Amino acid sequence: MAVSRAEIAVAAGARPRPGMWTAIARFARKKPLGAAGGVLMLVMLVTAIFAEVLQTHDPIATAAAATLAGPSADHWLGTDHLGRDIYSRIVHGARVSLVVGVASTLLGSVLGGIIGLLSGYVGGRTDMVTQRILDILQGLPLLVLALVMSAALGPAVHNVIIAISIPIIPRAARVIRSSVLSIREMQYVEAARSLGVRHLRIAFRHILPNTIGSFIVLCTAQLGSAILVEATLSYLGLGVPEPYPSWGRMLSVSAAEYAQKAPHLVLFPGIAISLAVFGSNLLGDALRDTLDPRLRGS
């Protein structure tokens, strides 16, 4: 008869690992603000995935008869200066913000993680040179570096992702390197080394999985910044090009000019950006507190 892992664990006297729902419920109880952030991010994710279902109008469809219309039964959040439905544009804008935010965060964090892993594991002169280069990159604020990259690459979704991911690289490299520095001194790593395991295998098989907690915290922390930078780049005309809806672009294209006559142009995209960044930051903070052993219980 087959024996389950849980039964083995009970037989060994260990407490069974809680199920996913139990873990989530415990997280929500311990970190209600973090859970609220998680709910906001979940809403954003669902909105992004089901944008076509949730929209009430085609987000790029213009309506000459309904320009700058206020909120109504037909246009829940009103229309912009070209008569485009703001609610539908915000719904589709969630997709752009999430895709750009997640993709750039993952790209930057993975590349930075690999650099940090190798730099921390190899150490010596390689580590020193790598860290100085990262110092230079990190000396530039995220937004400034993203602006330069975006201006150089031109406005397009993939370029925006690249532009935002590059400033994330040094931050990710630093976080992962610091974890690697402590992990590489552990006995099981020494044991692996003495058994003749190759360095790359030690780095990627034995050290990397133990940095996953830091990696998750890093990703959630950077996600909010990435969403905000995307909105800023779009606001400055360097982000996702028209006519595809992006929250930052919605603020810039018409809002500044028509804000007095139609304040809803500024209000609703602004609320969407704020909620997304707020949710991401709340979740990130709570995950950091939960996953970082030094902060656990604080």
User: Which residues are at the interface with other proteins (CB under 8 A)?
Assistant: 58, 60-65, 67-68, 81-83, 155, 237, 241-243, 252-253, 255-261
| Closest residue by Cα to residue 241 from 150, 164, 167 | 150
Query: Of 89 and 171, which CB lies nearer to other proteins in the complex structure?
Result: 89
269, 247 contact by CB (below 8 A): yes
CB of 256: closest distance to other proteins in angstroms? 2
Query: Of 112 and 239, which CB lies nearer to other proteins in the complex structure?
Result: 239
CB of 159: closest distance to other proteins in angstroms? 12
Residue 43: both structure tokens together = 């809403």
CB of 32: closest distance to other proteins in angstroms? 39
Q: Map residue 196 onto helix, strand or coil.
A: coil
Query: Distance of CA 274 to CAs 205, 227, 268, 282, Å?
Result: 39, 10, 10, 12
Query: Of 52 and 242, which CB lies nearer to other proteins in the complex structure?
Result: 242
CA distance 35 to 55: 27
Query: Of 213 and 237, which CB lies nearer to other proteins in the complex structure?
Result: 237
CB of 223: closest distance to other proteins in angstroms? 27
168, 112 contact by CB (below 8 A): yes
DSSP 8-state class, residue 79: B
| Closest residue by Cα to residue 48 from 13, 95, 4, 89 | 95
CB of 64: closest distance to other proteins in angstroms? 4
Query: Of 262 and 272, which CB lies nearer to other proteins in the complex structure?
Result: 262
CB of 243: closest distance to other proteins in angstroms? 4
Q: Which residues contact 33 (CB under 8 A, 6 or more apart)?
A: 282, 285, 286
CB of 146: closest distance to other proteins in angstroms? 18
CA distance 269 to 253: 12
Q: Map residue 164 onto helix, strand or coil.
A: helix
Which value, in Å, is the radius of gyration of the alpha carbons in the chain? 23
